[in-house]
Amino acid sequence: MLKSKLLILFIISLIPCCIEVDISAPSFPEIARYFNVSEGKVELTIAYNFFGFWISSLIYGPLSECYGRRRIMIVGNTLLLVGAFGCGMASTMDQLLGWRFIQGLGASTSAVLVFAMVADIYKGQEAVRIISIMNATLTLILAIAPVVGSVINQLCGWRGNYYVVWWITLISWVLLFKQLPETKKNLRRFLFKKIYQDYMKLFNSLEFMFSSLVPSLFYGCYVAFITSAPFLYMKTFNLPIFTYACHQALIIGIFSGVSLFSTQFVKHFGKKHCIIWGVSMAIISISILNTCNLFELNYPLLITGCMVVFCIGFALCYPLIFTISLELFPTIKGPASSLTMALRAFICAMVVGLTSIFYNGNPFSLFFIILMVTIVIFLITKYYLLKKVFNFHDNKK
């Protein structure tokens, strides 16, 4: 298969696992009313999803080294298909949480293995370019997802969003079954000891752990905002569902544009400058939000503007650091991709769990949690990542 066609297939396979949060988020207030549960309980649908994502993402990478990327992609996406349908059929809140967990077990498949397959096929700057294209394309779709979700919610109710995810997953599954080639040419025997050794090698590498941790922490901040945004915009600020969706779409759309041109920024300004600017923009924007909140200056446009700046910083950093984490250990790309995605899912589950506990309609708790996570990003980047990881990567070239 031509690389261009394979790239399209990769993007299609990533769509269901990427939009499942954003397209359903506009329905959160209605879900809370339908099941007569708290806002925090509804936000747990995201935490359960990421918990399932975390568990399965540790498994899929090593299994793909032994049984091939294609076979595991088909099996995992079948779980995603079943979970999405179950969410639409749920009759109690506990059932919805259970199906969201199963959906998470399947959602990690493409998230883990697509990037392992990218590492199989593309190298160096070309891999950065491909990941940037995928990020840009997917975030354009994500920018539309909240708007689409709000329309579906008004026309069909909250179940409609889960059924849309099911239909998209079904189309993706059929295309994968018919078109996806095997990119892992040299399979190895399944040995638990070897899997354990691979993971220990990754865990013992501070370069790998920190280069995986920073993108995961950024993503955790983003998801924490996404899960609380429906209640913040529609309940606290009393905005119509479509207006909320437009705010959300603007944030994601700007992220998409920056991701699309990230390789151009790197060429002109260099990797380190892009990382420095990206982290600086993130910590400054979220600090402004916390300061404004102390003086009760909470306005929808102010929050959206600051989150746009935050996501620009996120977009500048993400493809650069993420690519390096996959290239540090070229002989164990499957486990490396698995551990990276597992770390991301675990952090997202924890951050979303914290926001579901402390968020009470006042944005202070949400922005304070994001600020604390961003400070950790700043410290890791300043005192370790910029000094050692990039030098280590450059020396291996």
Whether 150 is covered by a domain: the verdict is: yes
So what's the pLDDT on residue 389? 57
pTM: 0.79
Residue 303 neighbours by CB distance under 10 Å: 23
The whole-number average pLDDT for the span 68-79 is 93
Name the average pLDDT for the chain.
86
CATH number, domain containing residue 69 = 1.20.1250.20
The whole-number average pLDDT for the span 175-193 is 84
Residue 254 neighbours by CB distance under 10 Å: 19
Which parts of the chain fold into alpha helices (H)? 3-22, 28-35, 39-67, 69-89, 93-121, 124-156, 158-179, 192-203, 206-231, 241-260, 262-269, 271-294, 300-327, 333-358, 363-380, 390-396
φ, ψ of residue 105 in degrees (nearest 5): -60, -35
Q: How many independent structural domains does the chain possess?
A: 1
Q: Look at residue 392 and tell me whether its pLDDT is greater than 50.
A: no
Whether 185 is covered by a domain: the verdict is: no
Whether 223 is covered by a domain: the verdict is: yes
Whether 347 is covered by a domain: the verdict is: yes
Whether 189 is covered by a domain: the verdict is: no
Whether 360 is covered by a domain: the verdict is: yes
CA distance 227 to 43: 6
Whether 326 is covered by a domain: the verdict is: yes
User: Position 55: which residue type?
Assistant: I
Share of the chain above pLDDT 90, in %: 36
Whether 365 is covered by a domain: the verdict is: yes
Q: What is the pLDDT of residues 101-158, one digit of tens each?
A: 999 999 989 988 888 888 788 776 777 778 778 877 776 787 788 888 888 988 989 9
* Residue 226, domain extent: 7-179+199-396
